[in-house]
Structure 1
């Protein structure tokens, strides 16, 4: 455990750390964050005894820091700093062996079998064993950093201090290093105190966070403090937005730069329609939410495609098929929402209207051969049939993520209302259908104007969505029924 109370310290007459109180529990990965000049490096130098404190107390494992001898400190603490300077022409294994100095006995400090075993082990774990015979100066900055980490681990410390440990590392070795450190932490109850400028890296690997500003501890605690957008923006003096990592329950942060709002037609698009696909390409990326075959979830997209497939289409891997079709059409898959339907694309309904100053574009292909009453107790999965309802709604407004979800709800309400009014039935249960078994919905917004968190039926945008979707869907189903009557 590290316990700091009312700490003051700095360089000669310059006071950097001011009345700082902090407790770091044993076995924690504790990240120190804050802008340049906030006192992070100075704090580590005070805790390790490199700088004398000018007030307050520092306790390590229930003993005052000043009561530890230099050797005892080295046995308990290791430091990996930003600098990778070594004055002499040592080989890599000699550099790492320096980490064993506190554990070697006798005046001449003989190297033991245990020393060699530990050194070989940490070199392998940090992926520098292959460099062990090379001069340190021959290595790249990232390789040198990993060698110095191996040296620090060779000390077998109880506390490891890291000052921007990934400064010279590429993505692979950054992740590798921090994952290895997490394994050390768990295996040996190692306490890690790391200065990290990358807030997303801190969120992924740290257990606790300490936020510093101008030598003072603004807040210390759980990772949730990284979700305090106002506090982070004030400390870093830049607009920030937090969001959840898509795979693991960790916060992530993105910077919002000042941008000049370009003067352009905000729902400007090109429409290309063939017998195989409908392609809408917008002049600027739109914020989207969809359950499309390609591009599902929330993201930014420029291209929106609805592909025609035969009624007997084998859907073993529809995503791969859509990517293949996009390549054939020379459309970038990474900025595209892709859907598919067995409906004749000539029966598409396109409605473009303005509702109380809000422009809304709705594009729908619809068939009801596989209509389903979602509330019916007995229903049959009839697979892919002609009858998919694909709805695309484009809105010239700034919608929050919550408003995007709300907009999908408004689309669904309008769709169900159309099914009720047209008396569309589930062919199995003969009850009024609520949709089809393969419906696909997209809502996209230009993100221009003031953000709005609500797009439900009681709002202007929600009402506009409802009227637009209802009109386009009734029209599309009418076209579908007329074509089916001719078969």
Structure 2
């Protein structure tokens, strides 16, 4: 059963785009016309145009070795066909946060769920599997943090489930708690392919800032930049003049950055409230 998602933006801002909740566990964006996309989605990450984008809640102990097959089966049950990209999270998608920016005819809508149990700091420290210290040796640059805590080891050879929310034990027997920040950026505009890559950079920087401003850190005290399983979808309608850039210095980049920052900030607050702290 599809239930229309509560109004997330003024109805005049974006036409032919609809949001639904399917059977209480899947947040779905449906477009009348194909959207151009660039994503790291579990399902359909290689696709360049789709009509559907969805984020699906799985159990915290989800441990399938083939998450993309599970999402494909779900897309089939929803009747989406091949025109879909899908994300996976242990966060209740009924708590999806939405933020909107509008400047003239240009509209940016951001949807986010933020689970932050599985923090990492990209380029500075390896992931920290809670309660575990086995596995491969950490890289030399990981060293010891400011608090004198040995940096966690690097893991390799994860199955698909280990890379995704609620992943099971990897080849070295370590287990990650569920924790993923999933972000969907929807632009009512016409982005070039390079602008979509720009948008990935801008959105990721805004996410990292929100995580750091929330005071989230690794066990050794270094600030986190996100989680090990974050996923991002950039989508645009293709309407209007071609937009060649989406960096932080542009109007579009400023809109994306602001909306992503607020959505992740609010998502973290909701996650903490649900966890009781």
TM-score range, shorter chain: 0.7 to 0.9
Question: Out of 10, 20, 45, which is 1:296 matched to?
Answer: 45
Question: Out of 457, 464, 475, which is 2:255 matched to?
Answer: 464
Asked if 2 retains the 8 angstrom alpha-carbon contact of 1:384 and 1:438, the reply is: no
Q: Deviations over 1:290-319 (max 9, x none)?
A: 000011135001101101111111130011
2:236 corresponds to 1:445: yes
Say how many residue pairs are matched.
Answer: 221
Structure 1 residues 120-269: aligned runs within 5 Å? 267-269=15-17
Could you say which residue in structure 1 is the equivalent of 2:188? 396
Could you say which residue in structure 2 is the equivalent of 1:387? 179
Asked if 2 retains the 8 angstrom alpha-carbon contact of 1:267 and 1:396, the reply is: no
Q: Structure 2: how far apart are the matches of 1:306 and 1:405?
A: 21
Shift of 1:328: 1.8
Could you say which residue in structure 1 is the equivalent of 2:25? 276
Shift of 1:409: 0.3
Could you say which residue in structure 2 is the equivalent of 1:423? 215
Shift of 1:267: 4.5
Q: Structure 1: how far apart are the matches of 2:263 and 2:45?
A: 23
Q: Structure 1: how far apart are the matches of 2:13 and 2:216?
A: 38
Shift of 1:384: 4.8
Asked if 1 retains the 8 angstrom alpha-carbon contact of 2:25 and 2:92, the reply is: no
Asked if 2 retains the 8 angstrom alpha-carbon contact of 1:379 and 1:429, the reply is: no
Question: Out of 99, 102, 125, which is 1:354 matched to?
Answer: 102
Asked if 2 retains the 8 angstrom alpha-carbon contact of 1:313 and 1:384, the reply is: no
Name the CA shift for 1:355/1:265 in 2 (closer, same or farther; >3 Å). closer
Shift of 1:344: 1.6
Asked if 1 retains the 8 angstrom alpha-carbon contact of 2:13 and 2:107, the reply is: no
Could you say which residue in structure 2 is the equivalent of 1:327? 76
Question: Out of 55, 58, 66, which is 1:309 matched to?
Answer: 58
Asked if 2 retains the 8 angstrom alpha-carbon contact of 1:266 and 1:446, the reply is: no
Gaps of 5+ in 1: 1-263
Could you say which residue in structure 2 is the equivalent of 1:414? 206
Moved more, 450-459 or 294-303: 294-303
2:86 corresponds to 1:338: yes
Gaps of 5+ in 2: 1-11, 126-141, 143-150, 156-173
Shift of 1:425: 1.2
Q: Structure 2: how far apart are the matches of 1:336 and 1:383?
A: 30
Q: Where in structure 1 do 4 or more consecutive aligned residues deviate above 6 Å? A: none
| Larger Rg over CA atoms | 1
What TM-score do you get using the length of structure 2 for normalisation? 0.75
Shift of 1:471: 0.7
Could you say which residue in structure 2 is the equivalent of 1:434? 225
Equivalent residue of 2:276, what SS?
A: helix
Equivalent residue of 1:416, what SS?
A: helix
When you count helix as a share of all residues, which structure comes out higher? 1
Q: Structure 1: how far apart are the matches of 2:20 and 2:33?
A: 17
Shift of 1:268: 2.7
Q: Structure 2: how far apart are the matches of 1:345 and 1:373?
A: 25
Name the CA shift for 1:471/1:265 in 2 (closer, same or farther; >3 Å). closer
Q: Structure 1: how far apart are the matches of 2:69 and 2:111?
A: 24
